[in-house]
């Protein structure tokens, strides 16, 4: 299963909680009930840490909701989860080239939705990435190679 929902731009703080956090929890519950073990959660770069001081209220709610969803998923031993944190999503045509890391990239560089989808497809078929938090932005490495490189870290 892949949780790729998001409240989206223009939504308020309450919607961030109901979609970005509780929506993920509901899908993870459904995966466990259905016996689905593989679960990929699309999060965001910046999740896992408190919002920066002075952050916009809606942005802070978004980061907090994504962080809570990640924490819930990490506490589920029955799921072979992977958390993918993309940078700023764009509607540009995918290039098939990314920077994919299991260490914080500490930047919100853009990445196309096409390329994020291709990374997710590759991760679904790579069980060795379970229980890992990965960050992805646009870059210069072909997606299949970027995933293989992770396996040797």
Tally of domains in the chain? 1
pTM greater than 0.85 (yes/no):
yes
H/E run at residue 39? strand 38-42
- What are the structure tokens assigned to 97, written together? 């080239």
Structure tokens at 125: 């078929």
CATH code, 16? 3.40.50.720
Q: Which domain holds residue 110?
A: 2-150
Per-residue pLDDT of the chain (153 residues; tens, 9 = 90+): 999 998 888 888 999 999 999 999 999 999 999 999 999 999 999 999 999 899 999 999 999 999 999 999 999 999 999 999 999 999 999 999 999 999 888 678 999 999 999 999 999 999 999 999 999 999 999 999 999 999 987
Instruction: For residue 27, give both structure tokens.
Output: 């899908």
Structure tokens at 105: 């990239």
8 Å CB contact between 84 and 42 = yes
Residue 46, sorted as left (phi over 0), alpha (psi -120 to 50) or beta, turns out to be left
Contact between 26 and 76 under an 8 Å Cβ cutoff? The reply is no
């Amino acid at each position: 299963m892949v949780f790729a929902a998001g409240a989206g731009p223009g939504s308020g703080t309450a919607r961030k909680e109901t979609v970005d956090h509780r929506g993920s929890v509901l899908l993870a519950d459904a995966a466990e009930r259905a016996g689905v073990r593989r679960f990929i959660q699309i999060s965001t770069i910046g999740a896992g840490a408190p919002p920066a001081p002075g952050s916009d209220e809606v942005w802070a709610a978004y980061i907090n909701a994504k962080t809570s969803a990640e924490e819930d998923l990490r506490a589920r031993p029955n799921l072979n989860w992977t958390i993918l944190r993309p940078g700023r999503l764009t509607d540009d045509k995918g290039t098939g080239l990314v920077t994919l890391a299991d260490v914080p990239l500490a930047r919100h560089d853009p990445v196309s939705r096409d390329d994020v989808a291709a990374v997710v497809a590759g991760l679904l078929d790579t069980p060795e990435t379970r229980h890992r938090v990965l960050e992805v932005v646009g870059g210069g490495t072909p997606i299949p190679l970027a995933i293989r490189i992770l396996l040797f870290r």
